[in-house]
């Protein structure tokens, strides 16, 4: 009888944990909304909701790329630097070379494609661990971006090395990309496309098989190397899109502008593992993770919490999400 009671108690405890694992992130979001709305009713006004969605757009787009690399059990740390490089290239195409929107965007995407191919070649062919390789790439690309911009901010009417002013103008079409509603629309399209790709296509399923058990994937005849290359190329391209949207939003290319997005994007992607109990990287979960981070940042700003304390909060949330995910995987 005593044993039966203990079993029931353990079952109830496990069920509670399972519930928190599946719905903890969403529950946390609802609690945060309630707390922030109670402290400042303006938090739930439509204009602030739009502001939160706009603020997480770039993070989500970059995090979607990380999600794809995680699906093959990889990890891309170079996304922040790729975003910085794309930001610098796209603005420079307008300001320095007076190019049109299409050329500017293609140039930035082409640069990211090269980075993705470099990463995948070194990881797949040279067998360098992905975290170490992308860490090295992060510094290399950061250095290339700094060298390209000569350590200066690129903006309209900037002073050129010869003392003259730049004559290139950033197009109005490009400017709209970073404005509401287009910045939010681009984010939603990215989330939906990657969700469909990973969940409903054979290519996405192959990536999950590779991420789950690479030996089983090889024995099943899945071309593992090709899918790993695809994952890192797509990761770089989404990082580039994030950098392009950032450039459109601020209309300048700041030094290492994309680097601050790395931590938030990684956090969003890992928080997404536990959303609705998926237990694997997924686009919808990543979006929910980004929403959680966006709500935290916005609410803390409204409560006048010093900006330098926010990383503590974000780091704690990430640690909690990772704890949930990896504890669940072990049990």
Nearest Cα neighbor of 282 from 253, 315, 313, 325 is: 325
Q: Which residue has the higher pLDDT, 301 or 4?
A: 301
CA distance 320 to 302: 24
**pLDDT score, position 8:** 53
In this prediction, residues 104-124 reach a mean pLDDT of 97
**pLDDT score, position 203:** 97
Q: Which two tokens stand for residue 243?
A: 């950098």
Note whether 21 and 277 are within 8 A (CB): yes
CA distance 94 to 171: 8
**pLDDT score, position 11:** 53
Note whether 292 and 317 are within 8 A (CB): yes
In this prediction, residues 110-132 reach a mean pLDDT of 96
pLDDT, tens digit (0-9, with 9 covering 90-100), for 150-185: 999 999 999 988 889 999 999 999 999 999 999 999
Residue 295 pLDDT more than 70? yes
328: confidence class by pLDDT, cuts 50, 70, 90: low
311: confidence class by pLDDT, cuts 50, 70, 90: confident
331: confidence class by pLDDT, cuts 50, 70, 90: low
Q: Which residue has the higher pLDDT, 329 or 317?
A: 317
Count how many residues are written for the chain: 331
CA distance 243 to 108: 9
Note whether 75 and 131 are within 8 A (CB): yes
Residue 317 pLDDT more than 90? no
Q: Which pTM does this prediction carry?
A: 0.93
Q: Residue 270's Cα: distance from chain center in Å?
A: 10
Residue 194 pLDDT more than 60? yes
**pLDDT score, position 254:** 92
Residue 330 pLDDT more than 70? no
In this prediction, residues 234-260 reach a mean pLDDT of 96
Q: Which residue has the higher pLDDT, 20 or 214?
A: 214
> Which range scores top for mean pLDDT: 1-15, 227-241, 249-263?
227-241
**pLDDT score, position 86:** 98
- Which 3-state string (H, E, C) describes the chain? CHHHHHHHHHHHHHHHHHHHHHHHHHHHHHHHHHHHHHHCHHHHCHHHHHHHHHHHHHHHHHHHHHHHHHHCCCCCCCHHHHHHHHHHHHHHHHHCCCCCHHHHHHHHHHHHHHHHHHHHHHHHCCCCCHHHHHHHHHHHHHHHHHHHHCCCCECCCCECCCCCECCCCCCHHHHHHCCCCHHHHHHHHHHHHHHHHHHHCHHHHHHHHHHHCHHHHHHCCCCHHHHHHHHHHHHHHHHHHHHHHHHHHHCCECCCCCCCHHHHHHHHHHHCCCHHHCCCCCHHHHHHHHHHHHHHHHHHHHCCCCHHHHHHHHHHHHHHHHHHHHHHHHC
**pLDDT score, position 62:** 98
Mean pLDDT of the chain: 91
Domains identified in the chain and CATH numbers: 42-330 (1.10.3470)
In this prediction, residues 198-224 reach a mean pLDDT of 96
Range with the poorest average pLDDT among 18-27, 50-59, 76-85, 216-225: 18-27
Residue 263 pLDDT more than 60? yes
């Amino acid at each position: 009888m005593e044993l039966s009671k203990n079993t029931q108690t353990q079952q109830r405890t496990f069920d509670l944990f399972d519930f928190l694992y599946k719905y903890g992130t969403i529950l946390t979001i609802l609690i945060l909304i309630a707390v922030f709305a109670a402290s400042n009713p303006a938090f739930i006004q439509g204009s602030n909701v739009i502001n939160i969605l706009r603020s997480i757009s770039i993070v989500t787009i970059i995090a979607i790329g990380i999600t794809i690399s995680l699906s093959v059990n990889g990890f891309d740390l170079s996304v922040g630097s790729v975003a910085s490089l794309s930001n610098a290239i796209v603005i420079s195409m307008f300001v320095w070379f007076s190019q049109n929107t299409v050329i500017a965007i293609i140039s930035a995407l082409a640069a990211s494609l090269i980075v993705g191919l470099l990463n995948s070649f070194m990881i797949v062919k040279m067998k360098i661990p992905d975290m170490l390789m992308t860490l090295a790439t992060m510094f290399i690309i950061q250095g290339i971006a700094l060298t390209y911009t000569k350590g200066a901010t690129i903006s309209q009417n900037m002073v050129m090395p010869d003392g003259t002013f730049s004559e290139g103008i950033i197009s109005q079409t490009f400017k709209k990309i970073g404005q509401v509603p287009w910045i939010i629309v681009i984010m939603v399209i990215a989330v939906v496309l990657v969700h469909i790709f990973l969940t409903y296509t054979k290519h996405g399923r192959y990536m999950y098989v590779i991420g789950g058990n690479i030996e089983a994937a090889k024995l099943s005849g899945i071309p593992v190397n090709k899918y790993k290359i695809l994952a890192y190329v797509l990761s770089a391209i989404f990082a580039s899109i994030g950098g392009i949207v950032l450039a459109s939003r601020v209309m300048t290319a700041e030094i290492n502008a994309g680097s601050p997005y790395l931590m938030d994007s990684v956090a969003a992607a890992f928080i997404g593992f536990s959303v609705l109990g998926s237990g694997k990287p997924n686009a919808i979960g990543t979006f929910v993770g980004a929403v959680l981070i966006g709500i935290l940042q916005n609410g803390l700003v409204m409560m006048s919490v010093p900006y330098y304390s926010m990383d503590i909060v974000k780091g704690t949330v990430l640690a909690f999400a990772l704890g949930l995910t990896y504890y669940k995987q072990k049990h």
